């Protein structure tokens, strides 16, 4: 048997895929042949969803049709509101999202149909409904009535509308739209891999998405963006950043949820240079800060980067990742920290479902092996004769 990998499968290639290309040394990200910079500048999230699912940019009538499907599918069954009212009071939004997506499986007429056509329709339904679930649960936790989706407007606009009841400012909705594009897909990341493993058993799309949501939740993956906000708040002002970063890197203070000596929003398994998504978000975050007349969060973020570089993280190939500037960006767009990871899920649902479709289209069960390193040839003894150790 080949030697076991003990480094989290770093560098292991598990599938051929036509969806996404990443060059971690060059800091390059490409969806289906298009650079992330090009898509972020010119495209919409809806168009990128079509691209990731179908493999090419849509024609005008195809995009119109997809947008019509999205506006039709934003509503959720009334019973979903009853389910979310009955979730235990301490439920966090990511757990609510996982539960509600699981609930939606039973309400989907095509749940067990893994054909490409049904999978596409389910991908559209899930992408359309997830913002409705997140916003409704958030409002419920704030003792506010849920706001039903509008048929008009983009997915980003509708999400912001369902959170606040206000039609958002165009810069805010475009900022969230671009952020959704940037988070939509990222190769064989942990949550996508979890989704692919589940779908490789020929489990249905909803089941695979629940596995992916569960995996995104962790602080080493999608949970990092909320911890970045926590860090920015703890730092409070740019001049405190250097001492804070030093304390963390020297192990005097550990950010709850992370291993010791880790700065949230830094480092990446694949990128050993600037994450190109972070650079795009950095500009958006600055623009949003200037728009609302409060650049404090982006200023503290920049001070953290300067301190991290000074402490030698860049020399080690540890740079800011996508989660780093999502924090200041989302916060200045009026989104609360507890929703950051669910918003990540609202974007990554497109990548997950694209991969599930790719897996189902040419399936082979994903079933690796472990290298057994435990004891051998032990002899069973009756319970009365056993001794500790």
Q: How far is CA 108 from CA 129, 186, 278, 330, in A?
A: 12, 27, 36, 31
Does residue 262 interact with ligand COA by CB under 6 A? yes
| Residue 181 β-bridge partners | none
Q: Long-range contacts of range 159-167, CB-CB < 8 Å, 24 or more positions apart?
A: 159/131, 159/134, 159/135, 159/343, 159/346, 160/333, 160/334, 162/131, 162/132, 162/135, 162/136, 163/135, 163/138, 163/139, 163/334, 163/335, 164/334
Question: Tokens 């990200």 sit at which residue?
Answer: 29
Q: Which stretch in 25-33, 121-129, 130-138, 267-275 sits in contact with ligand COA by CB under 6 A?
A: 267-275
Q: Does 140 qualify as catalytic in the annotation?
A: no
User: Which C-beta is closer to ligand COA: that of 134 or that of 313?
Assistant: 313
Q: What are phi and psi of 21, to 5 degrees?
A: -120, 135
User: Which C-beta is closer to ligand COA: that of 201 or that of 254?
Assistant: 254
Does residue 167 interact with ligand COA by CB under 6 A? no
Does residue 27 interact with ligand COA by CB under 6 A? no
Does residue 122 interact with ligand COA by CB under 6 A? no
Q: Does 169 qualify as catalytic in the annotation?
A: no
Minimum distance from residue 216 beta carbon to ligand COA (Å)? 10
Catalytic residue among 108, 275, 323, 360: 323
| Paired tokens of 81 | 């509101």
CA 146 – CA 109 distance, rounded (Å): 25
User: Which C-beta is closer to ligand COA: that of 168 or that of 265?
Assistant: 265
User: Which C-beta is closer to ligand COA: that of 282 or that of 360?
Assistant: 282
Does residue 264 interact with ligand COA by CB under 6 A? yes
181-240 binders of ligand COA (CB under 6 A): 220-221, 224
317-356 binders of ligand COA (CB under 6 A): 318, 321-323
Number of residues that bind ligand COA (CB under 6 A): 19
Cα 244 to chain centroid, rounded: 27
CA 32 – CA 371 distance, rounded (Å): 36
User: Which C-beta is closer to ligand COA: that of 313 or that of 349?
Assistant: 313
Catalytic residue among 268, 275, 355, 360: 268
Question: Tokens 């963006």 sit at which residue?
Answer: 225
Q: What are phi and psi of 38, to 5 degrees?
A: -65, -45
Catalytic residues: 268, 323
Q: Which residues bind ligand COA (CB under 6 A)?
A: 8, 220-221, 224, 261-269, 313, 316, 318, 321-323
């Amino acid at each position: 048997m080949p030697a076991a990998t003990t480094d989290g499968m770093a560098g292991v290639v598990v599938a051929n895929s036509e969806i996404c290309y990443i060059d971690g040394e060059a800091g390059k990200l490409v969806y289906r042949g298009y650079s992330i910079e090009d898509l972020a500048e010119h495209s919409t999230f809806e168009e990128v969803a079509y691209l990731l699912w179908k493999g090419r940019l849509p024609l005008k009538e195809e995009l119109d049709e997809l947008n019509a499907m999205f506006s039709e599918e934003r509503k959720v069954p009334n019973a979903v509101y009853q389910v979310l009212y009955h979730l235990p009071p301490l439920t966090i939004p990511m757990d609510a999202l996982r539960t509600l997506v699981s609930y939606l499986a039973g309400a989907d007429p095509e749940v067990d149909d893994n054909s490409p056509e049904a999978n596409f329709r389910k991908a559209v339904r899930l992408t359309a409904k997830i913002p409705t679930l997140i916003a409704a649960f958030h409002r419920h936790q704030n003792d506010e009535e849920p706001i039903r989706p509008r048929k008009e407007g983009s997915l980003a606009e509708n999400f912001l509308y369902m959170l606040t009841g206000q039609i958002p400012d165009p810069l805010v909705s475009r900022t969230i739209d671009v952020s959704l594009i940037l988070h939509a897909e990222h190769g064989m990341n942990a949550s996508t891999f979890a989704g692919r493993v589940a779908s490789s058993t020929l489990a249905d799309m909803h089941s695979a998405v629940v596995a992916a949501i569960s995996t995104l939740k962790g602080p080493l993956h999608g949970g990092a963006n909320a911890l970045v906000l926590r860090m920015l708040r703890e730092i409070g002002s740019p001049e405190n950043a250097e001492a804070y970063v030093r304390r963390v890197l020297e192990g005097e203070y550990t950010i709850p949820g992370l291993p010791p000596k880790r700065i949230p929003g830094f480092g990446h398994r694949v990128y050993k240079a600037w994450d190109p998504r972070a650079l795009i978000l950095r500009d958006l975050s600055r623009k949003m800060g200037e728009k609302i007349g409060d650049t404090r969060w982006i200023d503290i973020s920049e001070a953290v980067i300067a301190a991290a570089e000074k402490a030698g993280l860049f020399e080690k190939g540890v740079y800011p990742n996508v989660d780093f500037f999502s924090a200041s960006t989302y916060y200045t767009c009026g989104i609360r920290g507890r929703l950051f990871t669910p918003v990540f899920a609202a974007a990554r649902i497109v990548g997950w479902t694209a991969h599930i479709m790719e897996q189902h289209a040419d399936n082979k069960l994903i079933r690796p092996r472990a290298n057994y390193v435990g004891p051998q040839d032990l002899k069973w003894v009756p319970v009365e004769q056993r001794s500790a150790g």
